[in-house]
Structure 1
Amino acid sequence: MSDTKVTIQTYEKKKGEWRRALKKMEGVIGKNGFTKSKKEGDGKSPIGIYSFGTAFGSETKPANMKMKYKKTTKNDYWIDDQTSKDYNKWKTYTGNPADKWKSFERMNHELYKYGAVINYNMNPIKKGKGSAIFLHKWRGETKPTAGCTATAEKNVLSLLKWMDPEQNPHIIMGTNESLKSVK
């Protein structure tokens, strides 16, 4: 549960059977490992099964990508201010973000060259349960995240190109043991 290095594996159902799709990939998660009860700022990645939201990045949408994609700008922010009605939402704002929110993430960031929203704490959004959980490019194989899942840029691109919204892609996050209780 406290490990920060993970293996990313992809599966797809073909003719009623789950089969491996892409090669295994090395990844990293939150600097404090996994948790079943995520809290804002705990540095942990949430255990569970989550769908993907919008793919995004500071670069143009990659060729052959089927996911909806939003190119980020300097005016795009993900709000992690627990006192705001915008908590755990992507907002585009042209003013000074520090005048509007106590805490936010800039979406036009080097680690977000390519990524996808992991739909954690989205429906309904519960303040303080954690925000801004993404799949994105890593800083390196020994550098954990604040709660996201990250891997090499080439792997992020492979995953984004492989995911097909018509197939309803999901990410399953956790240890083999922790996932036994996830439904």
Structure 2
Amino acid sequence: MSGVVGKKGFTNQKTEGDGKTPIGMYAFGTAFGKTKKLDSITWPYKETTKNDFWVDDPSSKDYNKWVHYKGNPNKKWKSYEVMNHPLYRYGAVISYNMDPVIKGKGSAIFLHVWRGRGTSTAGCAATTEKNVVRILSWLDPAQNPQIVLSSKTSLKNL
């Protein structure tokens, strides 16, 4: 299936806000979406609300975490992702920089719906909504699925 990555390609040296997708093999975290969980999805799933944010502010104790917050996010964080967003109609967390979280090493890396062929992301991986749903429906908790993010050249080194 076709997909897109960060507007500045792949990197082994991911930093916050660099527009690059981190090279590596990663586990999937929680699947999510703006709608109720589809019957075909067995993977852990969270329906997003207007109060769901992913914090990408390196100065915050919440850095690289999903936070449910009912206050004004602009007063709490310098930077964040709104999880109830059209590109996140369906998606899954890619477990990059999660254990341990290293501030400034990059955050909010997801598999999500793309804007279209030939577009790019801020560092995530994206494909059509149909393909994202197919992937989420394929994920089986008993199988420990992983995603490989890499250029063809870097794939040999993984």
TM-score grouping bracket, smaller chain normalisation:
over 0.9
Counterpart in the other structure of 2:63: 87
Shift of 1:120: 0.3
Match status 1:37 vs 2:45:
no
2:120 counterpart SS class = coil
Alpha-carbon distance between aligned partners in 1 of 2:126 and 2:77, rounded to the nearest angstrom = 26
SS of the equivalent of 1:136 reads strand
CA offset digits 1:114-147 (Å, max 9, x no partner):
0000000000000010000000000001110000
Q: Among 62, 66, 70, which residue is 2:38 paired with? A: 62
Aligned counterparts of 2:132 and 2:141: Cα–Cα separation in 1: 16
Structure 2 distance, partners of 1:149, 1:64, is 22
Between the aligned partners of 2:151 and 2:77, the Cα distance in structure 1 is 35
Once residues 134 and 57 of structure 2 are traced to their aligned partners in structure 1, the CA distance between those partners, rounded to angstroms, is 32
Match in the other structure for 1:9 = none
CA RMSD of aligned residues (A): 0.7
CA distance in 2, matches of 1:92, 1:163: 25
Partner residue in 1 for 2:53: 77
- Alpha-carbon distance between aligned partners in 2 of 1:98 and 1:32, rounded to the nearest angstrom: 27
Q: How many residues in Structure 1 have an aligned counterpart in Structure 2?
A: 158
Instruction: Tell me which of 74, 93, 99 is aligned to 2:75.
Output: 99
Partner of 1:10: none
Whole-angstrom CA distance in 2 between matches of 1:26 and 1:158: 13
1:175: how far off? 1.8
Alignment of 1:147 with 2:119, yes or no, is no
- d(CA) in 1 for partners of 2:4, 2:44: 25
The AA in structure 2 aligned to 1:110 is: P
Q: Which has the higher contact order (CA 8 A, sep 6+)?
A: 2
Corresponding residue of 1:175: 151
Normalised by the length of structure 1, the TM-score is 0.85
**Moved >2 Å (runs of 4+):** 179-182
Aligned to 1:48: 24
TM-score, structure 2 normalization: 0.98
Q: Percent identity of the aligned residues?
A: 63
SS in 2 for 1:60: coil
